Amino acid sequence: MLRDTRVEINLSHIRENMMKIRHALPETVKLMAVVKADGYGHGDVASAQMAKQAGADLLAVAYLNEALRLRANGIEMPILILTPINPQEVMFALEHQFMLTVTSASWFEEMRAYKHCSTVNKLQVHVKMDTGLGRIGIQSKEEWDELVPWLQAEDVIVDGFYTHFATAGKADTSFLRQQHARFIEMMEWSKASGLKVNSYHCAGSAAALRFPELGMDMVRIGAAMFGFYPEQLVDTVKLKPALSLRSNIMQVKLLHKGECIGYDNSYRADEDQWIGTVPIGYADGWSQSMRGTEMLVQGERTPIVGKICMDQLMVRLHGPCELGTEVTLIGSQGDDQITFAELAAHLGSVSQEISTSISPRVTRIYKNEGRYDGYETITNHH
């Protein structure tokens, strides 16, 4: 069953964005497509397929369950899991040949109790270094020295050695340079240890697009694949958003001067005005903090009025309109468009928080080369 409120995903844009990124990189740099959080809300399996068509070599996700979901849907590309998994679950990783992020000797120690010899597969790991993001990873030489003996084990392959930048999308590059210098220093530790490391990598979307020389052996591209990138800082490629969000007006009424609408009488009309109800609410991922933003109805900007409810919200129309009139919450309509960037600026967040917040209750419609390419609803999404 289709709901009026639907996300439309233009798969060709995902593929084209990835091809442009591929061409902007030196040929020797491997391309890893990051499809965590259901492909930033665009569909993990579909995004992985588009990335592969565009020349991506590997995939990454944040968690083990996301990697298992890709395998269950027939995705056979190598997959890196960016967050350390529970050591107890190591056999899942071996069975499916996932590459694991490791950050400590204690992880290995615990994992050893759960790795049976029944599999011939070697454990493929990427060591994560913390050069300044302060999230996960090894910070000191002591931690590294403790880890090395575990990495030297016969059944372990050190596939990668990596870090992640904190400020790659900012105009000021001083902290980025500092992190990069620290990473170079840490790479020397790995070289001195005599371990064979297959690839060194540090750049996500913003770093890879702004500074191709940071590409090293591989780049990890998430945001840019979906058209999210610091446009004002990157003039080499032009990427397109792939997702739009639309709905239809379900009720229209005239609100008289002085009357209120919404929970807690949150909006009072200071003159007679037309109000439309749109079937999307915070349970669909349209947070109450979206109050103050606009959507497009008949090509005109239409503000949200009153508190956003769980399943509906109200807008102030420019005049009466027919039931079923299309509403564009993200994307273009007529000559105007509502961009992720403008919504993110209102929320004080980033585009990917908005795309990943759209809940599974919203129907997903896939288009490829302008053609309808299937849909998913909550009944078959999980």
Ligand X SMILES: *Cc1c(COP(=O)(O)O)cnc(C)c1O
* Binding stretches for ligand X (CB under 6 A): 34, 36, 82, 164, 204-206, 220-224
Residue nearest to ligand X (CB): 222
Pick the closer one to ligand X by CB: 158 or 317: 158
CB of 144 to ligand X, least distance (A): 18
CB of 58 to ligand X, least distance (A): 12
Our answer to whether residue 200 is catalytic in this structure is: no
Pick the closer one to ligand X by CB: 206 or 338: 206
User: Which residue carries 């397109």 as its tokens?
Assistant: 240
Q: Are 94 and 114 in contact (CB under 8 A)?
A: no
Give dist(CA 119, CA 115) in Å, integer: 9
Q: Are strands 294-297 and 326-333 parallel, antiparallel or unpaired?
A: antiparallel
CB of 115 to ligand X, least distance (A): 24
Pick the closer one to ligand X by CB: 190 or 351: 351
CB of 82 to ligand X, least distance (A): 5
Q: Are 151 and 196 in contact (CB under 8 A)?
A: no
Of the candidates 92, 73, 8, the one whose C-alpha atom is nearest the C-alpha of residue 328 is: 8
Q: Please give the sequence-ordered ranges of beta strands (E in DSSP) within 143-279, or none if there are none.
A: 156-162, 199-203, 218-221, 243-248, 251-255, 260-261, 267-268, 273-278
CB of 180 to ligand X, least distance (A): 15
Where helices occur in the chain by DSSP H, the ranges are 11-24, 36-40, 44-53, 64-72, 90-96, 105-111, 141-151, 174-192, 205-210, 340-347, 351-357, 378-381
Give dist(CA 147, CA 131) in Å, integer: 17
CB of 216 to ligand X, least distance (A): 13
CB of 25 to ligand X, least distance (A): 13
Q: Which of 238, 257, 263, 372 is catalytic?
A: 263
- Centre a 10 Å sphere on the Cβ of residue 182 and count the other Cβ atoms it contains: 16
Our answer to whether residue 162 is catalytic in this structure is: no
What does the block give as tokens for 127?
Answer: 């060591």
Pick the closer one to ligand X by CB: 204 or 306: 204
Q: Which long-range contacts (CB under 8 A, 24 or more apart) does 186-191 make?
A: 186/129, 186/131, 186/138, 186/144, 186/161, 187/161, 189/141, 189/144, 190/127, 190/144, 190/158, 190/161
Pick the closer one to ligand X by CB: 36 or 52: 36
* Radius of gyration, alpha carbons of the chain: 24
Q: Which of 20, 30, 36, 307 is catalytic?
A: 36
Terminal-residue alpha carbon distance, the chain? 15
- Phi and psi dihedrals of 119, rounded to 5? -105, 145
Paired with 304 in beta bridges are: 315
Pick the closer one to ligand X by CB: 169 or 331: 169
Instruction: Indicate the SS3 state at residue 220.
Output: strand
Pick the closer one to ligand X by CB: 87 or 160: 160
Residues labelled as active-site residues: 36, 263
